[in-house]
Structure 1
Amino acid sequence: MSTASPQHRRAIVIGGSLTGMLAARALSDVTEVIVIERDALPEKPEPRTGLPQAHHTHMLWSGGADAIEALLPGTAKELDAAGAHRVPLTTGMVAYSPKGWYRRWPESHYSIACSRDLLDWVIRGQLLKHAGGRVTVMERTTVLGLTGSATAVTGVTIRRDTGEEDTLLADLVVDASGKGSRTPHWLGELGAPQPETREVDSGLVYASRIYQAPPGLPASWPIINVQPDPRAGVPGQTGVILPIEGGRWLVTLAGTRGGQPTADPEDFQRFALGLRHPIVGELLDKAKPLTSVQVTHMTANRRRFYEKTTMPENLLVLGDAVAAYNPTYGHGMSVAAQSAVTLGETISRHGWNSPGLAARVQKAVARHTSIAWVFATGTDVFYEGATATGPTLAERAAARFVDRLTYTATGSGRVARALTDVMTLQAGPQVLAHPGTLIAAAVGPLKPQLTQPPLTAEERAAVDYT
């Protein structure tokens, strides 16, 4: 049995994905950290069994990228050297919103475009570089449960791949194990209350495939995104082309109940051509498929309200283990990064091992979670069968307001900037209630709606798009 003396500081992080590694970095300033991961982590950017969602597009908005840079200085430079793209927003995005084409306004924020495998690999390397030996990663190890009581958690029980079981004691246990988190079950075993849970499930299915991009593209090729209209009374279908490292496109298609994509390669482009605008399918005709189609069905929005639960001392839950979102808006990684920064800031403010520390952090990170939750569920709740009761009156009112903002943003740089502030998690929703933004929304678009995708002449010529 492994133990830690009361004088020996130790934190245990369950899960070695992006959330867990960033949490470990925040904790490593004040304590030894053990990260426990079921998989064997690859030594280069490669897929791993425990992260099937890595096959699909992942957006790292500037709010998350800035948080990662604060935790791991130099990460942006490492990503750039590895071939990731820094995409200015909305300059580098060709997006068809529910209310029409967005214009490509001058840069206000940015996104990092690359494969999830590359991002996780760079962050693992940066963590080991910055942590100064204070972080140990235990691979091929499964956490079986928590030790302690309903009052306080004291550690975890584990099973190594050899079959050997052990107990590790710790001052803090952080569950960053993702959607499959066992914390609700473990709380029940300790006799502690389980969190209230809400689920909004539109039945969304994701299908993704990697393509070799056409030759001769401009270095600043944009993200292409066709969004669904959740209030059109039909299944919501979407498609995105994300430029990633190696001169490739990662293409993700998605559809809700009654309009879902399949794993059939012959169906992939047909589905893309059938979106609200066919640009994604038309561009795929210029590219070469490199992989089979990868499909994911488990995309329900699920939030566990740990911040409202009487939790045992010394237990904290972060990332998808708290809230898993429909990936359409790409907020999961950015929320995780900002939550890790908040973890470090809360420890600095209140002190390591201070009474109620985990509860303070849990409440603080709920602010980040709530913004992403509103984005994801505010759309999905309008699809048939997503909830038992359908959208609430408050959700309907909020949707009408967002519809007006979205419509105005197609021809108003000011409103587009405000929406981008919130979308990239650089600001909270309160900026949308700024008097200037409200007046602009009341006036409506200042420029006429675009009738064609806003590709530049150089971009059109590169793919012979007419």
Structure 2
Amino acid sequence: MATTPRPRPRVLILGGGLSGTLAAAALAPYSDTIDIVERHALPDTPQPRRGLPQARHAHMLWSGGADAIESLLPGTTEMWLSANARRVSIPNGMISLSPGGWYRRCWPEAQYLISASRDLIDWAVRAQALALPGVRLRSEAEPVRLLGTRTRITGAAIRHKDGSEESIEADLIVDATGRASRAPSWLAELGIPAVPETIVDAGVTYASRRYKAPVETAGWPVINVQADARLAGPGTAGSILPIEGDEWMVVLSGTRGGEPTSEEAQFVTFARQMRSPLIAEYLDRATPLGPVSVTRNTTNRRRHYEKAHIEGFIALGDSATALNPIYAHGMSAAAQGARALRDLASKSDVTSKGFARRAQRAISRPAAAAWLLAVSQDACFPHAVGGTRTWADRLATRYINRLITTACSDFTAVQALSDVMTLQTSGASLAHPRVVLAAVRGPRLPPLSGPALTPAEEAVLRGRPVPTTTA
């Protein structure tokens, strides 16, 4: 006698941004239906959408994140590149001033990054994920509370645009609503104890502005002036990212006491006062395309859901681990978390006892790696809140600084740091004997006196400055 096939799980995802659509991609092969609840309408093309103010700022997708997305949604990278996103080689595709000096650009590719507008990055992922069987988008609907008991979450109540409410039952609920997640209060309403939370805040403010580049941006490098936490006073930094449309997305940042402002006339002035005026010199040759956008919400906040015992509920992306955006690890950590979720779901039924906790632990591993990179830097700046530094932390910082200085003239150090920064390996790889030996040996060549520019890059600086008024 034939047995009736067991129905596959139903998944409810709260939030239709990058983390939410990646969660859908991760779970679609193992679910009958996936409902994505999103507060705002989502565009069908790469254009701005409501509810994503950070899209006005610069974004980089490190290779660790890009590879994770490609494994979840094959063909996404080609969609980005076909829409003129830029694939930038590391380190030879970067003009970068580290705390240890200017990087050389004579090495083979160690890693890469994808540079594009956030609208383009999200659009390609969204288009791919929503085309998967069983994935449904419920836009202009807002989650208002979770349903369930102290031991298991069973769904969520959502409010539609017309004010009506609907209860949606599901076997697994994924919170992907971002930094502003209300899940902690919703869980508390069900009598679930608060999860531990860690906060480290360096008081970073960052400002972004789009420019029309004076050259085609295909093949143009990322220009990066990093902060040096060893110097007295606030840490200031900046980057020029080549994006689609032959534009530059420019971001400037500063810790407490050295913050950039939204004043357009001060944007280039701020860049000129950093450790190198190179970014300002390039902006003198570019044309602003809009106002300066400023963000102060840069606190590193980690909710340790992996320590909780909540069946049927997981949090992904900024809902669980929100990182200082200036290090550009948020998207990559979320993508790797989604891939870890996919890998677990391929081995274990999402309705099985303990699945949510195992999934949260798997998601937390790449998030923890990105967290350590962010807080180890932020905790060093003056007036940082949280992140008490021990003698071991200080010793590790001295070692990393030595490795950074060595990387200016040693490919072994470049490769090791690039692998960690792009989230391709964990920080533990920096303790490999080969890497330690490179750090002990130190720089092999004298430091560069200035940036290693190509003739084409130098030619732009010799060009005529353009007006700095908004186009």
Q: TM-score, normalised by structure 2?
A: 0.94
Taking the aligned partners of 1:445 and 1:19, their CA distance within structure 2 comes to: 40
Runs of 5+ consecutive residues of structure 1 not aligned to the other structure: 1-5
Q: CA deviation at 1:7?
A: 4.5
Q: CA deviation at 1:201?
A: 0.9
Whether the 8 Å contact between 2:9 and 2:350 is mirrored in structure 1 is: no
Give the equivalent residue in structure 2 for 1:120.
Answer: 122
Whether the 8 Å contact between 1:432 and 1:438 is mirrored in structure 2 is: yes
Q: 1:15 to 1:128 in 2, by over 3 A?
A: same
Query: Bigger shift: 45-54 or 85-94?
Result: 45-54
Taking the aligned partners of 1:203 and 1:171, their CA distance within structure 2 comes to: 40
Give the equivalent residue in structure 2 for 1:183.
Answer: 183
Q: How does 1:349-368 map to 2 (within 5 A)?
A: 349-368=347-366
Whether the 8 Å contact between 1:382 and 1:390 is mirrored in structure 2 is: no
Taking the aligned partners of 1:358 and 1:328, their CA distance within structure 2 comes to: 30
Taking the aligned partners of 1:111 and 1:23, their CA distance within structure 2 comes to: 22
Q: How does 1:56-455 map to 2 (within 5 A)?
A: 56-104=57-105, 105-129=107-131, 131-132=132-133, 134-215=134-215, 217=216, 219-310=218-309, 312-387=310-385, 390-455=388-453
Whether the 8 Å contact between 1:214 and 1:463 is mirrored in structure 2 is: no
Amino acid at match of 2:404: T
Give the equivalent residue in structure 2 for 1:49.
Answer: 50
Amino acid at match of 2:166: D
Taking the aligned partners of 1:67 and 1:398, their CA distance within structure 2 comes to: 29
Whether the 8 Å contact between 2:379 and 2:387 is mirrored in structure 1 is: no
Taking the aligned partners of 2:245 and 2:50, their CA distance within structure 1 comes to: 23
Residues paired across the two proteins, number? 457
Give the equivalent residue in structure 1 for 2:468.
Answer: none
Query: Bigger shift: 151-160 or 328-337?
Result: 328-337
Q: CA RMSD in A?
A: 1.5
Taking the aligned partners of 1:90 and 1:437, their CA distance within structure 2 comes to: 17
After superposition, what is the alpha-carbon deviation per residue over 1:336-356, rounded to whole angstroms, capped at 9, x for unaligned? Answer: 111111111101112231111
Taking the aligned partners of 2:23 and 2:363, their CA distance within structure 1 comes to: 12
Whether the 8 Å contact between 2:101 and 2:447 is mirrored in structure 1 is: yes
| SS, match of residue 142 in structure 1 | strand
Amino acid at match of 2:174: V
Give the equivalent residue in structure 1 for 2:467.
Answer: none
Whether the 8 Å contact between 1:102 and 1:410 is mirrored in structure 2 is: yes
Q: CA deviation at 1:388?
A: 5.1
Whether the 8 Å contact between 2:218 and 2:246 is mirrored in structure 1 is: no
Taking the aligned partners of 2:47 and 2:124, their CA distance within structure 1 comes to: 12
Taking the aligned partners of 1:230 and 1:20, their CA distance within structure 2 comes to: 35
After superposition, what is the alpha-carbon deviation per residue over 1:132-160, rounded to whole angstroms, capped at 9, x for unaligned? Answer: 2x111111111011100110000001100
Whether the 8 Å contact between 2:337 and 2:366 is mirrored in structure 1 is: yes
| SS, match of residue 163 in structure 1 | coil
Q: 1:290 to 1:250 in 2, by over 3 A?
A: same
Taking the aligned partners of 1:64 and 1:55, their CA distance within structure 2 comes to: 20
Give the equivalent residue in structure 2 for 1:3.
Answer: none
| SS, match of residue 295 in structure 1 | strand
Amino acid at match of 1:262: T
| SS, match of residue 228 in structure 1 | coil
Whether the 8 Å contact between 1:204 and 1:254 is mirrored in structure 2 is: yes
| SS, match of residue 351 in structure 1 | coil
Q: CA deviation at 1:8?
A: 6.1
After superposition, what is the alpha-carbon deviation per residue over 1:11-66, rounded to whole angstroms, capped at 9, x for unaligned? Answer: 01111111110100111111110011111112222222311111111110111111
Whether the 8 Å contact between 1:218 and 1:459 is mirrored in structure 2 is: no
Q: CA deviation at 1:210?
A: 0.3
| SS, match of residue 417 in structure 2 | helix
Query: Bigger shift: 349-358 or 295-304?
Result: 349-358
Runs of 5+ consecutive residues of structure 2 not aligned to the other structure: 1-5, 465-471
Whether the 8 Å contact between 1:218 and 1:458 is mirrored in structure 2 is: no
Amino acid at match of 2:55: A
- Percent sequence identity is 47
Amino acid at match of 2:303: R
| SS, match of residue 26 in structure 2 | helix
Taking the aligned partners of 2:271 and 2:438, their CA distance within structure 1 comes to: 34
After superposition, what is the alpha-carbon deviation per residue over 1:69-117, rounded to whole angstroms, capped at 9, x for unaligned? Answer: 1111111111111110111111101111111111122112110010001
| SS, match of residue 242 in structure 1 | strand
2:18 is equivalent to residue 33 of structure 1: no
Amino acid at match of 1:322: A
Taking the aligned partners of 2:441 and 2:173, their CA distance within structure 1 comes to: 51
Q: CA deviation at 1:465?
A: 7.4
| SS, match of residue 414 in structure 2 | helix
Q: CA deviation at 1:459?
A: 1.8
| SS, match of residue 454 in structure 1 | coil
Query: Bigger shift: 372-381 or 454-463?
Result: 454-463
After superposition, what is the alpha-carbon deviation per residue over 1:245-266, rounded to whole angstroms, capped at 9, x for unaligned? Answer: 0000000111111000000000
